[in-house]
Amino acid sequence: MLSRLRSTVRPCVTACRWVHTKEKGKPLMLNPRTNKGMAFTLQERQMLGIQGLLPPKIETQDIQAMRFQKNLKKMTDPLEKYIYLMGIQERNERLFYRVLMEDIEALMPIVYTPTVGLACTQYGHIFRRPKGLFISIMDRGHVRSILDNWPETDVAAVVVTDGERILGLGDLGVYGMGIPVGKLCLYTACGGIRPEKCLPVCIDVGTDNESLLKDPLYMGLYQKRDRSQLYDELIDEFMEAIVEKYGQGTLIQFEDFGNHNAFRFLKKYREKYCTFNDDIQGTASVALAGLLAAQRAIGKPITEHRVLFLGAGEAALGIANLITMAMTESGMSQTDARKRIWMYDKHGLLVQDRAQGTDSNQEAFVHPSPGEVSSFLDAVNVIKPTAIIGVAGAGRLFTHDVIKAMGALNDRPIIFALSNPTTKAECSAEDAYMLTQGRCLFASGSPFDPVTLPNGRVLTPGQGNNAYIFPGVALAVILSGVRHISDTVFLEAAKTLAEQLTEEEMNQGRLYPPLSNIREVSVRMAIKVVEYVYAKGMAFRYPEPLDKEKFVRSTMWHTNYDCFLPDTYDWPGVSYTPLKD
């Protein structure tokens, strides 16, 4: 029942960190940071005023974890599991992370995509206890005082959303808070970042979702989304207040902002703050890692690939720019690299002089028309890509004909259906493998089950999950004191991730390491990135650690319970009587 992480996760009776607490009695048990449930020792119960408030049995964390794991296995509905897991987090933080880390492969799809998307749509209906900080457009001029209400004073990482583009689900307003909460769960579970140093934030400027504006259970402002200058002023005030309170090195991750604002804010803030946009840069890094792994499988360098995107928003442009960087690093000119990347959006191919036009962020990938193209299938047949990457969030647009065309054009076609949640994926793993006779290299944003081919071979689809990237990058940035996060950091992260894929895993059809190993993957990535930023002069934490692996691993947060007994000791040889002449 208990997993391979047993060696690193021990109950308090065998390994205990002594922690001073002023809380006693019932408040100690109501605080998820200090609550240990029935794992409080007899001495703790007696000295901290909780004797009699718990059943007499004293349990280990192993037994507690087993109880919750048994209960989870009885549940079949993902949303029910999500509610149950979040309930553990609200009561006993260390036990929550113990359970999550012990079965990360099964539970990540619950606390993160795809179930977190469903939880966001139902946020007002399943609400139990508020998590994170809510800042509304009505709070302009008072953001700092709201930050002062947050109980933790030493925050190192902030994940912020305005709820406009939650996964592929659109504008969910304050219901989008589930995303920063879920992301920061993985900062801790995968990256070992202390949970008290993480702050989820939702900026409420209204919503354009008509169904939410008419829903009596909606929990945000009943107004249309404010797109005036007041919105920009609020975000400016928020950024300034964060660094004023927590320091210039505080990491601020933007999450699920609308396309236009995502690019604007990244460009506006990246040289002024320690910030990145996971939808642009994290997605780009994990997608590039998949392409680099495919490069190993096929034996074709990335400079020889031709990539066609379905979608031309922040994810597509982020991936395209990072692919361009990888190609130029391999010796190709930037101009030639961009010529190998094409994009197809709801209006068709991004080509010069098209009626619908393009925006400034897309200009680098606008090309002369290759001929008559009226559908994505036409684009595949005309451009003849070696890889298609879906990030449109519009559902099953990699049709059977598209997949068959990719199989006809390439011995080993690369098909990435990266849109989230699962219902928005461009195709299923089964379709991709079956329609190419198992020849394709497939990755998806949300998980798909292994596929058994007619010949009996089992292929395990790769999940191009941003969680492979952002926890390790965040840990490295925080530990090394990076002030501004360059795109080269995400290029380094992509290469590090691809290098961790073994030949055996590649033979199984994987393009990414198993999610069960994601904590070690994140640690190794953090080590590599720390080495990189110090080598490139980007790190500002001194003195520079000589043994960077030891430095990174020594900071990892663990789920062992703290010991709250007072630190008592003797004064041997001390006399308490006056000296005699």
Are the C-beta atoms of residues 188 and 112 closer than 8 Å to each other?
A: no
Residue 72 sits at the vertex; the CA angle it makes with 70 and 78, to the nearest 5 degrees, is 165
Task: Return d(Cα 272, Cα 541) in angstroms, integer.
Answer: 18
Residue 534 and residue 492 in contact, taking contact as beta carbons nearer than 8 Å: no
Residues 6+ apart with CB under 8 A from 343: 308, 309, 311, 312, 316, 320, 349, 350, 362, 365
114 prior amide bond cis, ω within 30? yes
Which distant-in-sequence residues (6+ apart) come within 8 Å of 578 by Cβ?
A: none
DSSP 200: E
Q: Tell me the two tokens of residue 201.
A: 């934030």
d(CA 242, CA 200): 12
Catalytic-role residue among 36, 183, 495, 528: 183
Residue 444 has φ and ψ, to the nearest 5°, of -135, 165
3-state helix, strand, coil in the chain (%, to 5): 50, 10, 40
DSSP assignment of 211-252 equals HHHT-TT--S-SSPPP-SHHHHHHHHHHHHHHHHHH-TT-EE
441, containing H or E segment: strand 441-444
DSSP lists the bridge partners of residue 367 as 351
Tokens of 313: 């928003």
CB neighbours of 229 closer than 8 A, spacing ≥ 6?
none
Give the residue carrying structure tokens 């041997």.
572
Options 82, 97, 112, 218, the catalytic residue: 112
How far apart, in whole angstroms, are the C-alpha atoms of residue 171 and residue 169? 7
183 is catalytic: yes
DSSP, collapsed to helix, strand or coil, labels residue 259 as helix
151, burial (CB in 10 Å: exposed 0-12, middle 13-18, buried 19+): exposed
Do residues 257 and 277 touch, judged by C-beta distance below 8 A?
yes
Q: Which tokens go with 157?
A: 């990482």
| Consecutive H or E run containing 264 | helix 259-269
Q: Is 468 a catalytic residue?
A: no
Is 98 in contact with 6 (CB distance < 8 Å)?
A: no
Instruction: Find the helix packing angle between 487-499 and 470-480, rounded to 10°.
Output: 120
Q: What residues does 389 pair with on adjacent strands?
A: 309, 416
Say if strands 387-390 and 414-417 run parallel, antiparallel, or are unpaired.
parallel
184-213: b (≥16 Cβ within 10 Å) or e: bbbbbbbbbbbbbbbbbbbbbbbbebeebb
Q: Which residues are catalytic?
A: 112, 183
